[in-house]
Chains A and B, each alone.
Chain A
Amino acid sequence: MRNLFKIAIRNLLRYKRRTLMTASLITIGVVFVLAYISIAGSFKNMMVAQITDSSLGHLQVHRKGYMAAVESLPLNMNLKPRPYKILEDTLKSQPEVEAYSPRIRFGGMFSNFVETTSIRLNGVYPDREFKTTPLLPTRIIKGEKHLNRGEILVPELLSVGMGVKPGDAIVIVTTNKDGSVNGKQFKVSGILESAQGPGGRDGYINFEDAMEVLRMEEVEVSEVAIRIKDFSQESAFTKKLIGLLGKELNQKGKPIFDVHSWEKLSPFYNIAQMIDVMSIFVKVMLVAIVLISIMNVMIMAVYERVREIGTIAAIGTLPKKILAMFVIEGFSLGVLGVVIGNLIGLSIIFVLNLSGITFDFGRQTGLILRATIAPLDVVIISGIVILISVLASLQPAWKASRMEPIKALRHV
């Protein structure tokens, strides 16, 4: 095997310019793919993190049918104490769950005593909400980063439109599920920056305040946002939770709960999917580059060395060794391109991170691009290139190994 490699590498060195050009093509392809995947992947992950950690959570559980009517925030579709207890017990027993936060979502009127407008509110337990959506405190751009009883976090756009600032008093007026109207005065504790995704422009009050203003006698929740420890396991955990909660049926024998992952709740998921599809296209382009360039160079190599193939076949080299000789040549070319490509690609990623490039997304500005690539992705890309190099060499190598020595020796 060592000798096969020696011969293959010397043959590559024999045509230095051609080897360099082919390896350069592969290198450019690998660099492009690494750079694209690291930037696009990081952009996607950052945006997903922004969405899930700012307001949405990794997944949410609602009463069955709630999401179909979510636009009207129906209070009569809240989870009652018994099903909520079932849900809470289930979540507490799951080791994957890092935190969860029950919410009462409702709409109301927001008054600064001069003018009035509509507002959507979340009644939350602040400590649990901050654990479930850890970027929520960072969205508080003015005021205190806490939410005590009697306080409200006002969305930025509303604060600008209504001219309110931290410390101001405002009134929330709402109707409960029975249709009776109630109002409560709040102190503005902070101004909340808008976030992408559903609920990103809602205000926040304390859970007990929400119960009070809605005249709730017992705990009812509109939704429970859940944060899991390992986001890569989100899909598996969603399936698990659907399985666990799917067993819980109401008196009519129908499921009580509906489990939604962030993908189903956020329109950004379609953009994320588009990024994934584009990544696949970029990888397919890399495969095509490697396949065509290696195949081309190996066909040339076989054509140019017909007499040499005839000679080694005549002196008794078995066809499988001739095949191996050319496949190893293609393999070595692929490895050369991959090694240089990885070195340059990873250096570019390092430089990109050093330069601190920023970008804007929606109303969020100055997001720093952190280009990262998982070691597994590097291994997979390298593996694909090397595998394609070997596959591309197979046909020319097969042709070489099947040559009749007598015809090959006559070749001019």
Chain B
Amino acid sequence: MSLVIAKDITKNYQIGEVVIPAIRGLSFEIEPAAFVSFIGPSGSGKTTLLNLVGCLDKPTDGHLTVAGADVSTFTQKKGAGFRGEHIGFIFQDFNLLPVLTVYENIEYPLIMVQNVPAPERRERIQRLLDAVGMLDQKDKYPDQISGGQKQRVAIARALVTHPKLVLADEPTANLDSKTAHTVIDLMKKMKNELKTTFIFSTHDTKIVGEAEIIYVLEDGQLVSRNVQGGNNNA
């Protein structure tokens, strides 16, 4: 069964009396353990779409199912619970909590969201710190590490809850080219190891090629679906 099923979803924003369509009748399905990228120019609807899939926003119309749940009916509390259970987030600006160390940032969702017992917490965090190459930096605060290191911590934080789906909105936008490739390689490696679905948005053409499936958006509409080394569907 597909992890994400979108059927004719639309999203309109109302600014005063003006209605601005951000997503116009999108339909797609994403399978588990996929490595998917949404690309397109600014204003094409990439972030809006990721927000919908991440249960941070609700579609104006259409049906959106994530991990078997109709997310368009969620309340604020239910949405938070669902996100904590099934979805991991990687942000463009890393969004680490400045008052927590690297270790504590990764630990945060296990304590505050999932209530994971301490021994299991330690084991999971150590494994991820090792996997993202940040074990020796675990006691540093976010302002003591580089942008690439921050994003590696953010990836570990997103994965520590064992989510079915990780959403990354422009995860390499604030990184140099070399670091961007390192981060995407890391995401890919984690996807292969943990069988987690990764969906990321980008307009960085240098890293687009890393995705297995590429959806191209323009003006809120899906204009193509490219499978690396496979079929191309519009």
Please list the residues of chain A having a beta carbon within 8 angstroms of any beta carbon in chain B: 3, 7, 10-11, 13-14, 307-308, 310-319, 321, 402, 404-406, 409
CB distance from B160 to the nearest CB of A (A): 10
Tell whether B20 is near chain A: CB-to-CB under 8 Å. no
Q: Of B93, B97, B99, B113, which contacts A316 at CB under 8 A?
A: B113
Given contacts A307-B93, A310-B95, A404-B76, 4 further A-B contacts (CB under 8 A): A10-B99, A315-B113, A316-B84, A316-B85
Tell whether B227 is near chain A: CB-to-CB under 8 Å. no
Tell whether B69 is near chain A: CB-to-CB under 8 Å. no
Tell whether B111 is near chain A: CB-to-CB under 8 Å. yes
Asked whether B157 lies within 8 Å of A315 as measured between CB atoms, the reply is yes
With A406-B56, A406-B57 as contacts: A315 and B99 at CB distance below 8 Å: no
User: Please, how many angstroms separate the alpha-carbon atoms of A85 and B80 in the complex?
Assistant: 79
Q: Which residues of B contact A318 (CB under 8 A)?
A: 77, 80-81, 84, 113
Q: Which chain B residue has the least Cβ–Cβ distance from A308?
A: B97
Asked whether A405 lies within 8 Å of B56 as measured between CB atoms, the reply is yes
User: Please, how many angstroms separate the alpha-carbon atoms of A13 and B157 in the complex?
Assistant: 24
With A10-B100, A311-B91 as contacts: A317 and B56 at CB distance below 8 Å: no
Chain B, 58-92, CB within 8 A of any chain A CB:
76-77, 80-85, 87-89, 91
Asked whether B95 lies within 8 Å of A311 as measured between CB atoms, the reply is yes
With A307-B95, A405-B56, A406-B51 as contacts: A316 and B108 at CB distance below 8 Å: no
Asked whether A316 lies within 8 Å of B56 as measured between CB atoms, the reply is no
Asked whether A312 lies within 8 Å of B51 as measured between CB atoms, the reply is no
User: Please, how many angstroms separate the alpha-carbon atoms of A321 and B82 in the complex?
Assistant: 15
Tell whether B98 is near chain A: CB-to-CB under 8 Å. yes
With A11-B99, A321-B112 as contacts: A315 and B77 at CB distance below 8 Å: no
Q: Of B51, B84, B88, B157, which contacts A317 at CB under 8 A?
A: B84
User: Please, how many angstroms separate the alpha-carbon atoms of A339 and B97 in the complex?
Assistant: 29
Q: Which residues of A contact B157 (CB under 8 A)?
A: 315
Closest 3 CB pairs of A and B: A316-B84, A10-B99, A311-B95
Q: Which residues of A contact B97 (CB under 8 A)?
A: 7, 308, 311-312
User: Please, how many angstroms separate the alpha-carbon atoms of A310 and B89 in the complex?
Assistant: 12
Asked whether B99 lies within 8 Å of A3 as measured between CB atoms, the reply is no
CB distance from A103 to the nearest CB of B (A): 72
CB distance from B100 to the nearest CB of A (A): 7
CB distance from A12 to the nearest CB of B (A): 9
User: Please, how many angstroms separate the alpha-carbon atoms of A388 and B54 in the complex?
Assistant: 38
CB distance from B156 to the nearest CB of A (A): 13
Q: Of B56, B99, B100, B112, which contacts A314 at CB under 8 A?
A: B56
Q: Which residues of A contact B161 (CB under 8 A)?
A: 316
User: Please, how many angstroms separate the alpha-carbon atoms of A404 and B91 in the complex?
Assistant: 16
User: Please, how many angstroms separate the alpha-carbon atoms of A310 and B92 in the complex?
Assistant: 14
Q: Which chain A residue has the least Cβ–Cβ distance from B107?
A: A3
With A311-B95, A409-B91 as contacts: A317 and B113 at CB distance below 8 Å: yes
Q: Which residues of A contact B114 (CB under 8 A)?
A: 316
Tell whether B109 is near chain A: CB-to-CB under 8 Å. yes
User: Please, how many angstroms separate the alpha-carbon atoms of A402 and B80 in the complex?
Assistant: 12
Q: Of B76, B88, B100, B108, which contacts A319 at CB under 8 A?
A: B76
Q: Which chain B residue has the least Cβ–Cβ distance from A402?
A: B76
Asked whether A315 lies within 8 Å of B83 as measured between CB atoms, the reply is yes
Centre residue among A310, A313, A314 by max chain B CB count within 10 A: A314
Q: Which residues of B contact A319 (CB under 8 A)?
A: 76-77, 80
Q: Of A7, A307, A406, which contacts B99 at CB under 8 A?
A: A7
Q: Which chain B residue has the least Cβ–Cβ distance from A12?
A: B99
Q: Which chain B residue has the least Cβ–Cβ distance from A313?
A: B80
Asked whether A312 lies within 8 Å of B100 as measured between CB atoms, the reply is no
User: Please, how many angstroms separate the alpha-carbon atoms of A312 and B97 in the complex?
Assistant: 9
Q: Of A10, A11, A312, A404, which contacts B112 at CB under 8 A?
A: A312
CB distance from A312 to the nearest CB of B (A): 7
Q: Which residues of A contact B98 (CB under 8 A)?
A: 14, 308
Q: Which residues of B contact A311 (CB under 8 A)?
A: 89, 91, 95, 97
Listed A/B pairs (20) with beta-carbon separation below 8 Å: A3-B111, A7-B97, A10-B99, A308-B95, A310-B95, A311-B91, A314-B56, A314-B83, A315-B158, A316-B85, A316-B114, A317-B112, A317-B113, A318-B81, A318-B113, A319-B76, A321-B112, A402-B76, A406-B51, A406-B56
CB distance from B21 to the nearest CB of A (A): 17
User: Please, how many angstroms separate the alpha-carbon atoms of A402 and B100 in the complex?
Assistant: 23
User: Please, how many angstroms separate the alpha-carbon atoms of A314 and B87 in the complex?
Assistant: 9
User: Please, how many angstroms separate the alpha-carbon atoms of A121 and B98 in the complex?
Assistant: 81
Q: Which chain A residue has the least Cβ–Cβ distance from B99?
A: A10
Q: Which residues of B contact A404 (CB under 8 A)?
A: 56, 76
User: Please, how many angstroms separate the alpha-carbon atoms of A11 and B98 in the complex?
Assistant: 9
Asked whether B84 lies within 8 Å of A315 as measured between CB atoms, the reply is yes
CB distance from A296 to the nearest CB of B (A): 21
User: Please, how many angstroms separate the alpha-carbon atoms of A134 and B85 in the complex?
Assistant: 75
Q: Of A11, A307, A314, which contacts B89 at CB under 8 A?
A: A314
With A7-B99, A7-B100, A10-B99 as contacts: A312 and B108 at CB distance below 8 Å: yes
Q: Which residues of B contact A3 (CB under 8 A)?
A: 111-112
Q: Which chain A residue has the least Cβ–Cβ distance from B114?
A: A316
Q: Which residues of B contact A402 (CB under 8 A)?
A: 76
CB distance from A148 to the nearest CB of B (A): 80
Asked whether A316 lies within 8 Å of B100 as measured between CB atoms, the reply is no
With A311-B91, A409-B91 as contacts: A316 and B109 at CB distance below 8 Å: yes
